[in-house]
Structure 1
Amino acid sequence: MDSQSRADRIRFEPADLARHPEVNALLESTGLGRFVADTVTSPFGRNESWMGTTDRGEKVFVKTFDPPGRDERLRRTLTFAERAARAGIATPRVLGHAESTATVAFELLDEPRSLLELFTASQDAGEDFDTEWCLRAARLVAETHRLAPDGFDTSAHPLPPLGPMNALTLRGYLGQSGAELHMWRLLHNDPEVLAAVTAMKEADGPGVGVWVPIHGDVRLDQFLVSGDTLYLTDAEESRLGDPARDIGAFAGEWLYHAINRIPTVLSESHVVGHVPTHQEIVATGAAEVDRFAPRTRAFFAGYLAHAGLDASLHDDLAVRAARYAGWHMIDRMISIARQKQILAAVPRAAAGIGRSLLLDPRQFLDTIGLRIPAHAA
């Protein structure tokens, strides 16, 4: 999660620039100056990054990619930025980069807010999230999928991680948290999920299905609003792949947020001390999924309107996207488990819903908002 957003969300004191001389070296080599120390902050993320103002008054965001695969992630980032700029897709401009240190400088957007931040603010205010943002996000994703494929990475996407899903190495086992061990035990004892995930990943390849330039890591915090413009950011996993991966990830985001709402809704709707029944939990979850589905429905309709796909491909695309939405739910459980000692009920419930989507995606197209609009059929 390397984003320029103010709310995604945790800011720390910036990583010591004295330990990262490559940052100011890059800025100086591109004529941007040096960071003014007291203007610099660092967002939480996978890679070390800094944002602030230089002594020449330039506002910049700098990221240095960490191993493993840092060179490949830099190349994918630069390829996407160049192709997107050429096609007029809104993404932060690259101001310079250094291959030797896998460091890249971007323009720092003015007062950026992610779609995750806007959604959270709407929840806090008791308001509905404007589905117009979903339509705009859909157009960015569709335009990405219509880029010319030349120059994009053709390597297999690292997710799902079939190795650990089959078995852990001794070294991997010893490094797991308690929640991770619980999570892997659930997955290792579910051969149907493993078979479905394996088939899904094997179908994402040249000559197997639709293969286009994809973002590869679609999440609400990858879309930033600055002024009146919506930007698509953080394309280090971009490559040629199945467009259903990006669509399913967007659908999975809303599905997860719907499930994440269950404890809050139950606590607000019952007296203190009431223990919800299984039926109450299921009914609440179904209601929340139904409430969130219009966001995915708007996104999918917007995507089909701009993607330029033959209508004969729509149905299969929807089914594959639903399967990827299911994987997104399981991936959420994997990510959360890395940070915990106890695997909580919400990620387990999300993974359970993900399992249903993986095994029978067509059954849930209406439920999650991936039914093909009548005008697009």
Structure 2
Amino acid sequence: MQNKKIVPVDLDSFPEVDALLQELGLGPFVRETVTSPVGRNNAWAGVTERGDEVFVKRLSGGEKDVASRMRRTLAFESYASAVGLNGVRRPALLGSDTEQRLLVFERIVDARTGAELMVDEEFSREQAREVGRTIGCLHGTPPHDVQALDGAPPPFPPLPYLRGLPMSTYLQASAGELEAWRLIQGDTVLIEALERLGEAERAAPRVPSHCDFRVDQLLIRSGDLYVADWEEFRLADPARDVGAFAGEWIFRSVLDLVTNRGEDVFADVEYTHELILQRGAEKMKRLLPLVREFWLGYIGAREEVDEGLAVRATAFAGWHLLDRLIAGAVSATRLSGIQRAAAGVGRTAVVSPEKFSLTLGFGDVA
């Protein structure tokens, strides 16, 4: 819920926002305080006439998708209240309007996102361990009411797409997206590995999970860590959240292939396989200790971790890079060398997770 100073989405076009704020007793937004955070949903952050700092989100998307995301968000709030989820800080939900697709949260003022800390190289090992402890607390809490939690598997990776895109998706895809899907669909070994991951996930224990876990979902203020955006919350394989955190740092290390963080910039370089391996190893050596700290915090917070978790998490970390490849290709006409490099690293983690898991620092489970 950290925001960037940009022109807010016109509140006059959404009178239901102020109407809900007034219904909650907060008063309408003070217009000159309002900013619009960047994201897939319409959102506003600012001060109400009563003086409350709030963040309002209006879910965007198809009716069925929005209904599911709203239901899961509210299910998380009910679950957290029922079990007393004290080990997981999150922005308080102040109110909602299902019909108008609105959610009102407290705004965590002066917080920095994990993504900002990552880019600024200020994400500490202590913070990484605290993130691991937080996710471990979430995963280690037994479901209060299994029937109330969504048990449907998350939609990604979309296994049917590995063999062929639906016509509707194909017609709407950019040239870059189509190139990314061709890269994946032409790799039989990768497809088989992703299908094995799907099978392993279905056989894995399911726990309460975030399922859309990224560093930009983390809000950090004065040493306090908050986890936001619970729209995909459900019972799921814990390896998804663990792998997502690792995947974020692997992806960052690949992006740093072309930065001068601590060295000269490699400009106009052809990224051969050998160069990618060399520079990738150097970049990972700098960042993967954060994954290790996360893992130590995670296993320290859970009483029991299943035997195959580390390997599945490694494969999901690899999928995270492939997912980033597809997402980044949406507005592209062709894939860049750095996107292909990320896909190559992700492929390695998916295809050979047993070998790659120790490199990530996943160990010492017993």
- Confirm or deny a common fold (TM above 0.5): yes
2:297 paired with 1:302:
yes
* Partner residue, 1:366: 358
Distance in 2 between residues matched to 1:274 and 1:209, nearest whole Å:
43
2:90 paired with 1:91:
yes
Q: CA deviation at 1:272?
A: 6.9
* Partner residue, 1:341: 333
Identity of aligned residues (%): 38
Equivalent residues in 2 for 1:218-257, closer than 5 Å: 218-257=213-252
The one-letter amino acid paired with 2:334 is I
Q: Helix, strand or coil: the match of 2:308?
A: helix
Distance 1:21 1:249, change over 3 A: same
Gaps of 5+ in 2: none
Residue 189 of structure 1: which of 186, 191, 196 is its match?
Answer: 186
* Partner residue, 2:7: 13
Q: CA deviation at 1:94?
A: 0.5
The one-letter amino acid paired with 1:13 is V
Q: Helix, strand or coil: the match of 2:108?
A: coil
Q: CA deviation at 1:184?
A: 1.1
- 8 A Cα contact 1:295 1:369, kept in partner: no
- 8 A Cα contact 1:84 1:91, kept in partner: no
Distance in 1 between residues matched to 2:153 and 2:56, nearest whole Å:
27
More moved, 252-261 vs 63-72: 63-72
Distance in 2 between residues matched to 1:271 and 1:235, nearest whole Å:
39
Distance 1:42 1:317, change over 3 A: same
Q: CA deviation at 1:52?
A: 0.4
Q: Helix, strand or coil: the match of 2:120?
A: helix
Residue 201 of structure 1: which of 187, 198, 203 is its match?
Answer: 198
User: What CA deviation, in whole Å up to 9, does each residue of 1:120-146 have, x standing for no partner?
Assistant: 222xxxxx6411011110111111112
Q: CA deviation at 1:235?
A: 0.9
Q: CA deviation at 1:34?
A: 0.3
* Partner residue, 2:73: 77
Distance 1:259 1:345, change over 3 A: same
Distance in 2 between residues matched to 1:270 and 1:176, nearest whole Å:
33
User: What CA deviation, in whole Å up to 9, does each residue of 1:232-251 have, x standing for no partner?
Assistant: 11110110000000000000
2:143 paired with 1:146:
no
Q: CA deviation at 1:175?
A: 1.6
User: What CA deviation, in whole Å up to 9, does each residue of 1:260-294 have, x standing for no partner?
Assistant: 10111499436877767654442111111122111
Q: Helix, strand or coil: the match of 1:203?
A: helix
Residue 354 of structure 1: which of 321, 346, 360 is its match?
Answer: 346
Count of aligned positions:
358
Q: CA deviation at 1:99?
A: 1.4
Q: CA deviation at 1:40?
A: 0.7
Residue 330 of structure 1: which of 319, 322, 332 is its match?
Answer: 322
2:111 paired with 1:115:
no
2:278 paired with 1:283:
yes
- 8 A Cα contact 2:271 2:337, kept in partner: no
Distance 1:272 1:66, change over 3 A: closer
- 8 A Cα contact 1:289 1:367, kept in partner: no
Distance in 1 between residues matched to 2:120 and 2:261, nearest whole Å:
21
Distance in 1 between residues matched to 2:272 and 2:304, nearest whole Å:
45
2:193 paired with 1:212:
no
User: What CA deviation, in whole Å up to 9, does each residue of 1:145-176 have, x standing for no partner?
Assistant: 12332222111211112233321233322221
The one-letter amino acid paired with 1:291 is R
- 8 A Cα contact 2:258 2:267, kept in partner: no
Q: Helix, strand or coil: the match of 1:184?
A: helix
The one-letter amino acid paired with 1:363 is K
- 8 A Cα contact 2:89 2:225, kept in partner: yes
Gaps of 5+ in 1: 123-127
User: What CA deviation, in whole Å up to 9, does each residue of 1:100-128 have, x standing for no partner?
Assistant: 11211000112111111112222xxxxx6
Distance in 2 between residues matched to 1:106 and 1:118, nearest whole Å:
23
The one-letter amino acid paired with 1:301 is L
* Partner residue, 1:125: none
- 8 A Cα contact 1:290 1:367, kept in partner: no
Q: CA deviation at 1:60?
A: 0.4
Q: Helix, strand or coil: the match of 2:213?
A: coil
* Partner residue, 1:155: 152
Q: CA deviation at 1:67?
A: 2.4
2:38 paired with 1:44:
yes
Residue 177 of structure 2: which of 177, 180, 191 is its match?
Answer: 180
- 8 A Cα contact 2:259 2:266, kept in partner: no
The one-letter amino acid paired with 1:105 is V
Q: Helix, strand or coil: the match of 1:196?
A: helix
